[in-house]
Structure 1
Amino acid sequence: MISIPLLVVFAGLARAAVNGACSANGTPGVCLVNTDCTSGGGTTHSGFCPNDPSNVLCCTKTSCGSGGNCRFTSACASGNTASGMCFLPLLYETTFVLISLPQGLCPGPSDFKCCLPSAACAPPAVNAATVSLIKEFEGFVASPSPDPIGLPTVGYGHLCQQANCAEVPFSFPMTEAQAATLLQTDLKTYTKCLSDAIVDSVRLNANQYGALSSWTFNEGCGNMRSSTLISRLNNGENPNTVAAQELPKWTFAGGVSLPGLVRRRAAEVVLFQTASSVISHPPPC
């Protein structure tokens, strides 16, 4: 009878949990073939994957990235993970493109990643081209004044949180240098929420990341998170196509399409589609 041994083989395979979670004396790991574990820099532990073949052991790696350790993303409390991808320029015909190569931060399946401390994966600062774009369209305001829809702002687009912008650590009228410092502080809020909203599988260069940071700074984190633009990026659509189609839709303020926003969105699309070899998302760690 051929069917009986086949059933036995299938049953044995069903019991195996290769790539499944395990824990070796409290340290999170993954069940892997021992050679796959050690070749990825991990340490094997016997007796913690009892239903697997004898060469499948619990693999742990307690040092990766910048102060991280390997674990499944669902168990990474900080939410900051690094997948171990590096980007190299490759000449394709007459155009340089970026290719990604695995560095092997963590052995095992794609969701077994290097879990980093919260501060280790802080989003990078936007580049100079982004700062220039934001300054151009926000304009410099030395003392708190209403913006085009009546909201009190100062500096380069800082939205006042208290009466007379009392939270700003500078006296008024501000200098342009002080306004530039305030802008850099403000941008950290928006780059953080933007980086958190975009999944790690989406790779953005410095200009793409900067264009979206400008848009988020202008439209707010809530609008960014709920946007079709972000959902399309996270679904794996081509970033340049998504930006060209979605950014121009964001030209309304107070229910009116403003010429300044039309020009800003067009400038953000141009910046987004400008080539850069610097990768800004996921955040470098």
Structure 2
Amino acid sequence: MQKLTFASLLALAFAGLSHAAINDPCSANGTPGVCLTTTVCSSGGGTSRAGFCPNDPTNVQCCSKTCSTNGVCRFTSSCASGNTLTGLCPGPSTFRCCLPSSSACVPALNTATIDHIKSSEGFVPRPAPDPIGLPTVGYGHLCQTTGCAEVPYSFPLTTSTAHSLLISDLRTYQTCIARDINDSVRLNSNQFGALVSWAFNVGCTNTGSSTLIRRLNAGEAPNTVAAEELPKWNRAGGQVLPGLTARRAREVTLFRTASSTIVHPC
């Protein structure tokens, strides 16, 4: 068995006195938190508790915060529901507002949005290639299996069954837009609907990492952001498509149409 030298024992002793990194997770009497300076914590609306970030300077303490409705700030990896909101917690981007599964709130879509999406997608009763060759059916349902076997309705679809399929499909995009936009951003029914139409067309991964969402979350004027950013999303397969240019223009119009119904945050 290898013996430890005096030097190695001394090194271990000093290692035990090293500081934990700021932004490391902590727990204050069972409440999840993150090690932050007290200044950063308080500026983000959090509460600092001493003694839970061992060996750190006195101004680095365990920062915790409640958020939204029945939510608590915690690292996304420990949020059991997976239902998180950004922009409500101090600290690193992975320290987010974690909501219980039962508290998930997804704003409803108004008739103007549904009509806009139907008009943009067009009605296809049987699976057929879209303008860039992807198999779709109904109002823009992208087939996931051969022959769109996952669709729970028989072909040819009627406008009624296609409507039901669309409403089911849109839930995913309502959820990701609501999730990615901070609660501090107020959107009316037309603004939210225009963003869902955009997400339905380009996908949640693209919208979630977009400059448009980042600018909204930074507090810029929504109508200005939409008018400047939506028209940029007019390419497919590397080519500008006139149909997408027209669709983005209609989404900007819908977004900027006044509505007294605020749906986000809900």
Tell me the TM-score normalised to structure 1 length.
Answer: 0.63
- What's 1:205 paired with? 188
Corresponding residue pairs, total: 211
Residue among 120, 125, 132 paired with 2:115: 132
Q: CA RMSD in A?
A: 3.4
**Aligned in 2, Cα 1:61/1:134: closer, same or farther, shift over 3 Å?**
closer
Identity fraction in percent: 58
Which of 122, 134, 149 lines up with 2:105 in the alignment? 122
Tell me if structure 2 keeps the 8 A contact 1:207–1:273: yes
| 2:158 corresponds to which of 164, 175, 185 | 175
Question: Per-residue displacement from partner, 1:16-75 (whole Å, max 9, x unpaired)?
Answer: xxxxx9856x4679xxxxxxxxxxxxxxxxxx889xxxxxxxxx999x95xx36x44558
What is the SS of the residue equivalent to 1:153?
strand
Q: Which residue of 2 aligns with 1:94?
A: none
Distance in 2 separating the partners of 1:279 and 1:213:
15
**Equivalent residue of 1:145, what SS?**
strand
> Structure 1 residues 27, 229: closer, same or farther in 2, change over 3 A?
closer
Cα distance in structure 2, aligned partners of 1:82 and 1:218: 23
Is the contact between residue 127 and residue 137 of structure 2 (CA under 8 Å) also seen in structure 1? Answer: yes
Q: How far is 1:255 from its partner?
A: 2.1
Say which SS state the counterpart of residue 136 (structure 2) adopts. strand
Shift of 1:166: 0.3
Answering whether residue 260 of structure 2 is matched by residue 258 of structure 1, we say no
The Cα of 1:82 is off from its aligned counterpart by: 11
* CA drift at 1:110: 8.8
Aligned-pair CA distance for 1:248: 0.8
* 1:103-148 CA-partner distances (Å, limit 9, x unpaired): xxxxxx999x996422322312211110000000100000000001
Maintained 8 Å contact 2:128/2:137: yes
**TM-score, length of structure 2 as denominator length:** 0.68
Correspondence for 2:210: 227
Inter-partner Cα distance in structure 2 for 1:185 and 1:262? 26
Cα pair 1:205 1:278 within 8 Å, conserved = yes
Asked if 1:159 is matched to 2:120, the reply is no
CA distance in 1, matches of 2:198, 2:165: 18
